[in-house]
Structure 1
Amino acid sequence: MAQIGKFNTLEVVSIADFGVYLDGENLDTILLPKRQVPADTEIGDWINVFIYLDSEDRLIATTDKPLVEVGQCALLSVKDVNKFGAFLDWGLPKDLLVPYGEQRKPMEVGQRHVVYLYIDEYTQRITGSAKLSNFLREESHNHQTGDRVDLMVINRTDIGYKVIIDELYLGVVHNMDVLQPLKPGQRLTGYVKQVRDDNKLDIALQLQGQEARDDISARILAELERNGGVLNLGDKSSPEEIYAVFQTSKGNFKKAVGGLLKQQKITAEAKRIVQVKA
């Protein structure tokens, strides 16, 4: 079945002066305007298109790629505000409406907000919502400590940063686990630090425990190989210098270096590590 708010591969069923009509299956025929029709298109060809409603609430197809699809979240800019709500730029000619009832706080022109796209049950229009907890789960029975996850940053709070996990869940990166400033909309990799008793997720931005030390040790050795056996980092290097190379805390870096020293794989100075050749 063809879906509004997503890309669909549809068959050309007729050709007109102003474009081609595609078989929208359950959605009937849908126009793809002439300027977007690939050259030499014929009846029976299949075209990958995004389906949405135009300014007159008619179904329309486009080969343009929006910044986000239905069922996804994205950081979008507010272009206009009127009596209906805020209108956000999502990369298509018709801006995305976020009604006042779907705003966590009043949106203003020029601001950027993380929103979730859904189909309004009554109008069938693609609509945005900043009330993410209405669409994403706050508890997970599918994650375990140490799981690698994909993250999108939502916003900062007193305790850390709210994040979207694997496009489906909400979680928190606590201040103690933040090694650099994060920005709303930023995408990065994280790890489940803890599944709490209420099944909510705490997220870390780096591996934990022995697994973390093993990972950093391997990366230190790889970096030494790339740099002729010498790495200009050590015990007296700043946390910022260490994070720039390994995206980890100074504490984890020092533990990994200690392990490599015990294995006699390196020698270490204040700001220099040298690989011991076998």
Structure 2
Amino acid sequence: MKELGIISSLLINRFSPNGAYLALRDGDEVLLPQGYLKGDEKEGEEIEVFIYTDSEDRPVAVTQRPVAIEGEFAVMEVKEMTKFGAFMDWGLPKDLFVPKSEIGKPMEEGGKYLIRVCIDHRTNRLIGVSKYEDFLMTDTQGFHQGDEVDALVFDQTDLGFKVLIEGKFEGLIYKNEIFKRIELGDKFKAYIKKVREDGKLDLIITAPGREKYDEGAQRILDTLSKHSFLPLHDKSSPEEIKGVLGMSKKHFKQSIGQLYKDRKIILLPDGISLA
């Protein structure tokens, strides 16, 4: 079945008490259960669905989208561990099964792990794979310092947080360069700090150069627009600044210097306010 594991737009062939039967490209049909119908659908109408297999390994269509489709990565939480493998929460009624043979680092219930959705061609079922290294690319020559990338946080180490970059590459954000709360599964824009010899990438969260100051200045303005006054100044501790604005003291001082020069804020003995 070509539609297994992906989002497809399929035509409604017919209706039954169980739901609507949708036409597949190979001539077969797949059931969209009654619970996913609004009630005003018609035969011949096109509907967007995701197809996987139910608890009895029968193909079934749903209008829900899982956190990842076939060939994609996502950080998922373990709902249940068994001697055969792990069942992951991926946003659908039936959990995604990660066979024991496809588990990399040890997993435990309630933990969050990077999982790739794959098709097990022996059983024609969707499974999860936590051995993510097998799918990553190592040729990072196309990246350059300062490039903006999409980052997905998937693991924490003594050095910092491992991130998946553009869904294909591995990177690291060092903990001493993080000035906001980060959790596994977070997605955000990050910037290439260094391309390492082993092909992996070091990242920073704050944009380098002028963009960094502009980003910090805008964050301060946004906060001031809500509170009118901030009890932060050049004598404030790095911890206070990080707790309120999520930035380093150096970044804060550079940003308020820019805002003061542009006459957008007023510097007071005990803090700052909008001009």
Amino acid at match of 1:273: I
**Could you tell me how far 1:59 is from its partner in structure 2?**
1.3
The 8 Å contact of residues 140 and 200 in structure 2, kept in 1 or not, is answered as yes
- Count of matched residue positions in the alignment of Structure 1 and Structure 2: 275
Choose 75-84 or 182-191, whichever is displaced more.
Answer: 75-84
How many angstroms apart in 2 are the aligned matches of 1:193 and 1:155? 19
- 5 Å matches for 1:110-129? 110-129=110-129
Distance 1:48 1:253 in 2: 47
Map 1:151-190 onto structure 2 (within 5 A).
Answer: 151-190=151-190
CA contact under 8 A between 2:55 and 2:94: conserved in structure 1? yes
Greater Cα offset, 45-54 or 262-271: 262-271
CA deviation after TM superposition for structure 1 residue 231, in Å: 4.1
CA pair 273-36 structure 1, distance change in 2 beyond 3 A: closer
- For residues 239-258 of structure 1, the aligned pairs below 5 Å read 239-258=238-257
Q: How far does the alpha carbon of each residue in 1:196-232 deviate from its partner, in whole angstroms, 9 at most, with x for none?
A: 344421110112234322432455456557766x543
The answer to whether the 8 A contact 1:137-1:168 is kept is yes
Q: Which residue of 1 aligns with 2:211?
A: 211
Cα separation, 1, equivalents of 2:202 and 2:102: 26
Unaligned runs of 5+ in 2: none
Residues 256 and 78 of structure 1: is their aligned pair in 2 closer, same or farther, counting only changes over 3 Å? closer
Shift of 1:96: 1.0
User: How many angstroms apart in 2 are the aligned matches of 1:144 and 1:268?
Assistant: 38
Cα offset, 1:47, TM superposition: 1.4
| Alignment correspondent of 2:137 | 137
Identity %: 39
Residues 54-107 of structure 1: CA distance to partner in whole angstroms, max 9, x if unpaired? 222221111233233223323323233334211122232322111112212332
Task: Map Cα deviations across residues 242-267 of structure 1 (whole Å, 9 max, x no partner).
Answer: 33554321111112334555677655
User: What SS is found at the alignment partner of 2:212?
Assistant: helix
**Which whole-Å deviations, capped at 9, do the CAs of 1:7-65 have from their partners, x for residues lacking one?**
21100112223222111114731111223233133220111111001222221111233
Q: 1:261 to 1:99 in 2, by over 3 A?
A: same
CA RMSD after TM alignment: 2.8
Alignment of 1:83-94 (within 5 A): 83-94=83-94
Tell me which amino acid in the other structure corresponds to 2:250: G
Distance 1:217 1:47, change over 3 A: closer
- Aligned partners of 2:26, 2:53: CA distance in 1, in Å? 15
Q: Does the 8 A contact of 2:86 with 2:99 survive in 1?
A: yes
Other structure's SS at 1:25 match? coil
Q: State the partner residue of 1:40.
A: 40
